[in-house]
Amino acid sequence: MPKKRVLVGMSGGVDSSVAAAILKEKGYDVVGVTMRFWGERNRCCSLEDVVDAQKVAAKLGIPHYVMHFEDEFKREVVDYFVDEYQLGRTPNPCVVCNPKIKFGILLEKARELGAEFIGTGHYAVINRPKMPDGRYRLSRGRERGKDQSYFLARLPQDKLRHILFPIGTFPKDKIRAMAHRFDLEIASKSESQEVCFIADGDVPAFVERQMGEQYPDGDIVDIEGNVLGRHRGIIGFTIGQRKGLGIALGKPAYVTAIDARKNQIIVGDDSGLYKRHFISLNAHWIGLDSLDAAMDVTIRIRYKHKPARGRISPMKDGSVEVEFDEVQRAITPGQLAVFYNGDEVLGSAWIDHILN
């Protein structure tokens, strides 16, 4: 019986390298691919990363290819990222990139190469169907501090059935140890952080380069509308931000809202950041066919957010009303709300506006 071919996305890092090694050890016909997303200096898919991935592939005795997705990444991810900031929202590019690029376009390439699966180094678990509904279920990775199910919550069933996450059931320390066991040079390589395509972390400068112009200045106001100072563009702010406001009030001040229509940054006390009720749009369901009635779930409102209990309710217009049992800090429009039943991802929806 011929081996099943799997195309493994290899970033040159520890996780994806070990994922490739595990799949090869399990008997798969492994083909390594490094995706190039962005031409500017960046934190991922650099030339150094490509070389590291090639070295790992050579060590494992598998073929390796470099695939260029710069145009697709610009259209699907970067343009979305820039547009969201201009709307006064805080985007989440990884959530968009995964279904459209990493598990979208790459899956098409995999099929062209005769591969049945895509494998990656994500810390998450896909449970194959055991129930009559034939549903593939996405769950949190074993190591909670590394769990990446949040970023994968927009994947549809037709993609989940072709994905393998071989490291999802292991803790990070075990993955490091396995990299040493496989004698991989990258075993001690550090991990990339922050937005991968902005090397210096300067989001406003990046957005303005993409816009081709400087974003207009505007007022910083308090919740009553009193002008407290000026900002250099709403693209430099996000909900909960304290540093870089450029105003002195004699007490800590935080961004509590962004009004793109008025080009205003609204600031207030930390207490003004605590809310429990919001509306989310464009729901996507993995563990359900649809949300037909209110449900008690666990909710994450950003990747680093500690999951909290709450209730989700369907609305007539297709949106989802979300209400936490207890107030949460800095619920942010533009971020993704992911809904869990225990460790299982039920679905997700984009945070649109917060209710008082």
In this predicted model, what pLDDT tens digit does every residue of 48-63 receive, in sequence order? 889 999 999 999 999 9
Domain shared by 144 and 245, yes or no? no
Sign of the dihedral defined by the CA atoms of residues 99, 100, 105, 111, in that order: positive
CA dihedral (120, 124, 126, 127) positive or negative: positive
**Exposure pattern of 138-169 as b/e (b: 16+ CB <10 Å)?**
bbbbbbeebbbbbbbbbbeeebbebbbbbbbe
Q: pLDDT higher for 281 or 171?
A: 281
Catalytic residues: 97, 196
Cβ pair 160, 118 in contact under 8 A: no
Q: Which residue has the higher pLDDT, 46 or 32?
A: 32
What total number of domains does the chain contain?
3
Confidence of residue 45 (pLDDT cuts 50, 70, 90): low
**pLDDT of 42 higher than 70:** no
Tell me the pairing of strands 264-268 and 274-285. Answer: unpaired
Task: Specify the CATH number for the domain of residue 283.
Answer: 2.40.30.10
Q: Name the DSSP letter for residue 101.
A: I
Q: 138 and 10: one domain?
A: yes
133-140: which pairs have CB atoms within 8 A and are 24 or more residues apart?
135/286, 135/287, 136/160, 136/161, 136/286, 137/286, 137/287, 137/344, 137/345, 138/286, 138/287, 138/344, 138/345, 139/343, 139/344, 139/345, 140/340, 140/343, 140/345
Taking the C-alpha atoms of residue 261 and residue 4, their distance in angstroms, rounded to an integer, is 53
Say whether both 42 and 123 belong to one domain. yes
Give the C-alpha separation, 241 to 244, whole Å: 8
Please check whether residue 104 lies inside any domain of the structure.
Answer: yes
Does residue 276 register a pLDDT over 70?
yes
Task: State which residues form the domain around 297.
Answer: 274-355
Same domain, residue pair 26 and 118: yes
What is the per-residue pLDDT for 194?
64
pLDDT for 263-274, tens place per residue? 999 999 999 999
92/128 same-domain check: yes
Instruction: Please state, rounded to an integer, the average pLDDT across all residues of the chain.
Output: 93
Per-residue pLDDT tens for 175-210?
999 999 999 988 888 876 667 888 788 899 999 999
Residues 181, 233, single domain; the answer is no
Looking at the structure, tell me whether residues 334 and 280 fall in a common domain: yes
> What pLDDT score does 192 carry?
66
What pLDDT is recorded for position 46? 73
Reference 82, options 193, 243, 209, 239; nearest CA is 209
Q: State the CB neighbour count (10 A cutoff) for residue 294.
A: 12
User: Mean pLDDT over residues 281-296, rounded?
Assistant: 97
Does residue 30 sit in the same domain as residue 152? Answer: yes
60 in a structural domain: yes
Task: Tell me: pLDDT of 40 over 90.
Answer: no
Q: How far, in Å, CA of 263 to CA of 217, rounded?
A: 8
Same domain, 110 and 250: no
What per-residue confidence (pLDDT) applies to 137? 95
Are residue 252 and residue 306 in the same domain, yes or no?
no
What are the pLDDT digits (tens) for 71-111?
A: 999 999 999 999 999 999 999 999 999 999 999 999 999 99
For residue 308, being part of any structural domain is answered with yes
d(CA 180, CA 103): 28
Q: How far is CA 30 from CA 9, 50, 158, 161, 319, in A?
A: 10, 17, 21, 18, 41
Which of 38-47, 146-155, 248-257: highest mean pLDDT?
146-155
What mean pLDDT comes out for the span 125-133?
Answer: 80
Looking up tokens 């070295």 gives 55
The two three-digit tokens of residue 161, written as one number: 């059935």
Residue 43 pLDDT: 56
CATH code at position 224: 2.30.30.280
Is 227 exposed, middle or buried, given 0-12, 13-18 or 19+ CB atoms closer than 10 A? exposed
Query: Whose CA is closest to 118, among 63, 153, 57, 164?
Result: 164
Of the candidates 266, 242, 243, which has an alpha carbon nearest to the alpha carbon of residue 254? 242
